[in-house]
Structure 1
Amino acid sequence: MLFLCKISKAFKTLEKLNPFLTSFNVSSFMLSIPIKTLHNPERPLIQNFEKIRFPARHLTKKNKYKMFTVRLETIETSRGCPHTCTFCTTHIFNKGKWRPRPIEKIITEMKMISHNRKISDIFFVDDNLTANT
């Protein structure tokens, strides 16, 4: 994921940030200001989805997230896409790779949502939900 922060004509801010900018070391971070650009190396793609923990859903308000009037939770079953469609940038950010999560982890997460959160509606937020490569 790439974050871009641009500060223009805010020299007071620049003075305060200057010590921080010289030692800032976060992958895939870019900061552009009128007199300086800091562009750190890109973070490598996560390849092993076994190591990614489930979201800390207990820290969110259950009734806050709705689609129209339906309470829902989100699940990401994969990241990326192997195709290079002209209307899409997913292949750029994911280097043309599709990386699925293990089906067992997806099923476990769905069961946790249903049991712990008492929510039966799940919104899939994948880059390419129908991929099967």
Structure 2
Amino acid sequence: MKKIVALFVAVMMFMTLFMSYGYAEDLIKVKTNINDVKTDNKYFIISGSGQPNTTVELILNDNLSDKWVIGDTMLFAKLLTLSYGDNYIVIKAYKDDQLQIIKGHVILTKKDGILQITITAIEDIIKSLLK
């Protein structure tokens, strides 16, 4: 019986320690696919939603690209300019003692990509933000 109580106490202490660091899975939701995406357009839009008053850092290839606080609309969309080849994206969201990290990889396949946003692409972005 003492072993069960000791195990229970140890599990509770571990859970309390884990919760005190506040790793959060749901501060933001990225609607744009950023997992091993190939594109020939050097301009790439990342969109999504999140909890109000959440600070978000967008890091492209180890450089801080943008930093903002999510407002009352709970929506965001950011434009990145990709480099030729591999582009590594890290999105850090934090609020109070909670932290969420999302990583992605986008490959630009042409050196001289140009902005090619069409009416269809704009409609798709608006639809994804309103889901």
Normalised TM-score (structure 2) = 0.23
- Higher-strand-fraction structure: 2
Structure with more relative contact order (C-alpha pairs < 8 Å, separation 6 or more): 2
Normalised TM-score (structure 1) = 0.23
